[in-house]
Amino acid sequence: MSQLGFNFISKLESHADSANSSQSLEDIINSVTHFRERVRSFALGGDAANATDEEKSLIRVHRDSHSALLDSTDQLRDKLAATAGIIIKDAEEGPSTWHMIEKTSDGPSARE
């Protein structure tokens, strides 16, 4: 990107002290979490709890054929946790949630 005259890192650093940077980061994480949740929901193919046997069979086939999407959403969740301390929790009902873990001298600690 710097070859194109745009240095993304310095652009981020210049905004690091602004009051909006924290809100912008939160907006980005909310968007990533929402996108991941929608992809995951599509890959799961529906709720099998109240489905007929035939519907359950179709849902199973759908999930099997979209397992790479599920794996990718899990990899994204795991990578965000490992590299940025962003923990995404999937909910049985309702939206996924997230929080950040800060690394301190005593070890990781949660920051909501």
| H or E stretch at 33 | helix 20-44
Domain parsing of the chain, residue ranges: 20-111
Cα 103 to the chain's mean position, in Å?
A: 20
Is pTM, for the whole model, over 0.75? no
The tokens for 17 are 């002290």
The tokens for 68 are 């790479």
Asked whether the predicted pLDDT for residue 85 surpasses 50, the reply is yes
Alpha-carbon distance of 99 to 108, in angstroms, equals 12
What's the chain's average pLDDT?
A: 83
Q: What is the pLDDT of residue 92?
A: 82
Q: Could you say which DSSP state residue 91 is in?
A: -
Q: What is the pLDDT of residues 29-46, one digit of tens each?
A: 999 999 999 999 999 998
